[in-house]
Amino acid sequence: MDENTSRDTKVRQKAACDEVLRYCQNKVDCRRVQVLAFFNETFDPTNCNRGCDTCLTRGNFDYQEEDVTEDAKTMIRIMEAYTMKNMITLTNLVECYRGVAGNTVKRLSDNRYFGEGRDWLKEEAERLSIALKLQGGITEFHQSSGAGWSNSYILVRPFIANITICAPC
């Protein structure tokens, strides 16, 4: 939000934040592989010897790739009901999708798609919303409130590709 920061620097900082999100969301790939790939280095995950959280728990869960495009479209439809006057956050989106009334000021329960994802676990719905953000379906912006707090709100982006997430079986 610093006015003295160049647009290129802000773009680079946002890309770095997105990389951190990808790292946090990836529950499948060896952490050492991911970190070293960031620095354009390679690492054989068989040499990790269960030294990271994903390798340590490998074998405890079976993961499968799941097409959740229709669920992502539902989240987009939820967001389309809101305007710049009544903006929502990623948390509001997940609450509305899962059918949790949460923020009563936003009147989430009035949304036509409220509760469409009621069978989703909170963590999985959050992962879907973040996947939408990382894949360009949602853009997030920050706005200062009158009290000086910074709030992060979301807007729909015009293009949505197929969305897949890796989920435990």
> Domain containing 119 — which CATH number?
1.10.10.10
In the prediction, which pLDDT does 118 show?
A: 96
The H-or-E segment that residue 166 falls in is strand 164-168
Nearest to 97 by CA among 116, 70, 123: 116
Q: Which amino acid is at 18?
A: D
In the prediction, which pLDDT does 103 show?
A: 65
In the prediction, which pLDDT does 114 show?
A: 95
In the prediction, which pLDDT does 112 show?
A: 94
The H-or-E segment that residue 102 falls in is none
In the prediction, which pLDDT does 98 show?
A: 96
One domain for residues 85 and 25 = no
One domain for residues 143 and 121 = yes
One domain for residues 154 and 109 = yes
pLDDT tens digit sequence for 93-121 = 999 999 998 766 788 999 999 999 999 99
* Percent of the residues in the chain that have a pLDDT greater than 90, as a whole number: 21
One domain for residues 141 and 68 = yes
| Domain carrying residue 39 | 1-60
Q: Which of 60, 76, 91 is the last residue of a domain?
A: 60
Q: What is the pTM of this model?
A: 0.69
One domain for residues 23 and 89 = no
One domain for residues 46 and 115 = no
One domain for residues 51 and 71 = no
One domain for residues 96 and 23 = no
Q: In the chain, which stretches have pLDDT less than 70?
A: 1-2, 103-104, 158-169
One domain for residues 51 and 80 = no
One domain for residues 78 and 127 = yes
Beta bridge partners of 142: 152
β-bridge pairing 164-168 and 63-67? antiparallel
Q: Which of 60, 84, 110 is the last residue of a domain?
A: 60
Q: Which residues contact 157 (CB under 8 A, 6 or more apart)?
A: 136, 137, 138, 139
How many structural domains is the chain composed of? Answer: 2
One domain for residues 97 and 43 = no
User: Rounded to a whole number, what is the distance in angstroms from the first to the last CA of the chain?
Assistant: 41
Rounded to an integer, what distance in angstroms lies between the CA atom of residue 55 and that of residue 143? 39
In the prediction, which pLDDT does 93 show?
A: 93
pLDDT tens digit sequence for 141-157 = 877 777 777 778 888 87
Per DSSP, helices labelled H in 26-68 are 31-38, 53-57
